[in-house]
Amino acid sequence: MLRMSKIHKWFGKLHVLKDVNLDVKEGEVIVIIGASGSGKSTFLRCINFLEEAEKGVVQFRGKPILKNRNLTGIRKEIGMVFQHFNLFPHMNVLHNVMEGPVHTRHMSPHDAEKLARGLLEKVGLSDKAKVYPSTLSGGQKQRVAIARALAMQPSVLLFDEPTSALDPELVGEVVSVMKDLANEGMTMIVVTHEMWFAREAADRVVFMDEGTIIEEAPPEKMFSEPENERTKQFLKQIL
Ligand code: ADP
Ligand code: MG
């Protein structure tokens, strides 16, 4: 489904991604872990071209993504959920979720509303359709953000620390929605520190350090017998 080959990214003189390679199959759930500043967000952003890698190729379903040619189409296929929700404050929850389908997918408002209501039910927020984001808890906001991303009917969803801005007691409701998606076969690349999500939902865990992928393994292996010394050190700190 996705293949990132030899990705390099610089911010000025800072070499942030150094030859990063990752293949993601349809239906796979990849969890990326690593210390702050190791390049996880930049890597996710390079996948859907929120940042442009200076070197390397991103392929989607076997074809390279070309910035000037097929980027708009690709953005519909590769959704993203951010740490800070980024909901539209002047729109109610229902309209937040309908916005993408109506304006980008040119769906009729009637169909978009039906889709949006279905997705709000899926994330457990049917009763919040008509309220404004400012009245929601962080966990509810993030579930709306997930519904909004799903409304674009993407093939892949990228999550960048979706629970890091939440109070601890609100993490579970968001991770549980993510687990449902994983169980339904959604292809996902998730940067997170929630190791129980990684244990229960990930097919592979990828450890990034200083802009490179140091090690990747299924969660059982990664957490019980990591091979690289730096992986061991990092896991010791967080587990
Ligand atoms: P992570 O998500 O793993 O914490 P990031 O991808 O955010 O790491 O950052 C990797 C490195 O790139 C850091 O040193 C960070 O300061 C730097 N960086 C990230 N975004 C920018 C930017 N827009 N301009 C300059 N440097 C950046
Ligand atoms: Mg980050």
Helix 138-151 to helix 168-183 angle (10° resolution) is 20
pLDDT means per 10 residues, the chain with 239 residues, are 98 98 98 98 96 96 87 90 95 97 94 98 98 97 98 97 96 97 98 95 98 98 97 93
Check if the beta carbon of residue 185 is closer than 8 Å to that of residue 170.
Answer: no
Give the model's pLDDT for residue 8.
98
ipTM, 2 dp: 0.98
Q: Which atom of ligand 1 is nearest to the CA of 51?
A: 23
Which ligand 1 atom is nearest residue 12's CA? 25
Inter-axis angle of helices 109-122 and 138-151, nearest 10: 130
Burial of 115 (0-12, 13-18, 19+ CB in 10 A): buried
Per-residue pLDDT at 239: 80
Q: What is residue 166's predicted lDDT score, i.e. its pLDDT?
A: 96
Task: Give pLDDT, residue 102.
Answer: 96
Pocket test for ligand 1, best of 16, 54, 80 (most atoms within 8 A of CB): 16
Q: Is 64 in the pocket of ligand 1 (CB under 6 A)?
A: no
pLDDT value at residue 67:
82
Taking the CB of residue 152, how many other CB atoms lie within 10 A of it? 20
Give the pTM.
0.96
| Whether 71 contacts 82, CB under 8 Å | no
